Amino acid sequence: MDSAPRITACVITLNEADRLGDCLASLGFCDEIVVVDSFSADATVALAESFGARVQQRHFDGYRSQKQFAVDLASHAWVLCLDADERVSPELAASIQRARDGGFSGVAGYRFARLSNYFGRFLRHGNAYPDRVLRLFDRRRGGWRGDREVHESATVDGRVERLGGDLLHFPYRSLQNQLHKTQAYARMMATHEHARGKRASLAKLVLAPAWRFWRGFVLRGGFLDGWHGLVYAYVRANYVRQKTMMLWLLEHGQPVVDPAAPSPDKTLPDERRA
């Protein structure tokens, strides 16, 4: 329908040449693609431009800020926000197009399930699924708001409905990649919570990781995903443990990252020349 609302797809990237193509290929139903890149060192920018995306480079200062910057660049009121490791499934694409053909009438945004692939298997149980996310919305009525730069989420003023179909997610290149990312997220969340006055406790340090594992693997049926579900539950519980430990250390004035190396004093003589 020519009168149907137009959609801008918004994607943020950093060195995603190996995954971005599948993401952009799934967005063929969108009217515009905006990519905000954090100065990638690989072929990410050239790949994005080959798909007709409008690329803007910006130094990264947080996930929320980067995504909102992309939304602000959109030419159209309705935006669909994806990460480079996500793809719109054919079923979800059809649901979005049906909603658009109806004019997105009376709705400010839409949620849909995110289905994550974990080392060769899609996780359909536990804490991993359905993981409903608000990614399609009217940017005049919402966006990536707040001050939390990690585990960010979009919000809108108005009614939110659900769409059928899954947003396919391929989050980790390797176990090492997952452990690195979860440790970085733990540090960012601990810093955020500490700044807001949240405090840890020894009881929470012991019990919170155990509860995360028990809730996901047992109560929510993560065991039904086999060894993939077991490893996923262990790593997610470890994330909670790391975040709580870091919050505890911050409370007690202890460092959670290595101190920055001091800059060399250029006014001092070089001893190697003495």
In three state form, how does the secondary structure of the chain look?
CCCCCCEEEEEEECCCCCCHHHHHHCCCCCCEEEEEECCCCCCHHHHHHHCCCEEEECCCCCHHHHHHHHHHHCCCCEEEEEECCEEECHHHHHHHHHHHHCCCCCCCEEEEEEEEEECCEECCCHHHCCCCEEEEEECCCEECCCCCCCCCCCEECCCEEEEEEEEEECCCCCHHHHHHHHHHHHHHHHHHHHHCCCCCCHHHHHHHHHHHHHHHHHHCCHHHHHHHHHHHHHHHHHHHHHHHHHHHHHHCCCCCCCCCCCCCCCCCCCHHHC
pTM of the entire structure?
A: 0.88
> pLDDT by residue (tens digit) across 198-241?
999 989 999 999 999 999 999 999 999 999 999 999 999 999 99
| Res 13 pLDDT > 60 | yes
- pLDDT interval class at 269 (50, 70, 90): very low
> pLDDT by residue (tens digit) across 117-154?
999 999 999 999 999 999 999 999 999 998 888 889 99
> For 146-170, what is the mean pLDDT?
95
153 versus 268: the higher-pLDDT residue is: 153
| Res 270 pLDDT > 90 | no
| Res 196 pLDDT > 60 | yes
Task: State the pLDDT at residue 263.
Answer: 54
> For 230-253, what is the mean pLDDT?
96
Task: State the pLDDT at residue 268.
Answer: 38
| Res 52 pLDDT > 80 | yes
All CATH 3.90.550.10 domain ranges in the chain, comma separated: 7-169
- pLDDT interval class at 271 (50, 70, 90): very low
CATH second-level architecture of 7-169?
Alpha-Beta Complex (3.90)
Mean pLDDT for the chain overall: 93
> For 12-27, what is the mean pLDDT?
98
> pLDDT by residue (tens digit) across 70-126?
999 999 999 999 999 999 999 999 999 999 999 999 999 999 999 999 999 999 999
> For 33-59, what is the mean pLDDT?
98
Task: State the pLDDT at residue 76.
Answer: 98
Least confident of 59-63, 206-210, 220-224, 258-262: 258-262
Q: Which two tokens stand for residue 185?
A: 């997220």
Task: State the pLDDT at residue 262.
Answer: 65
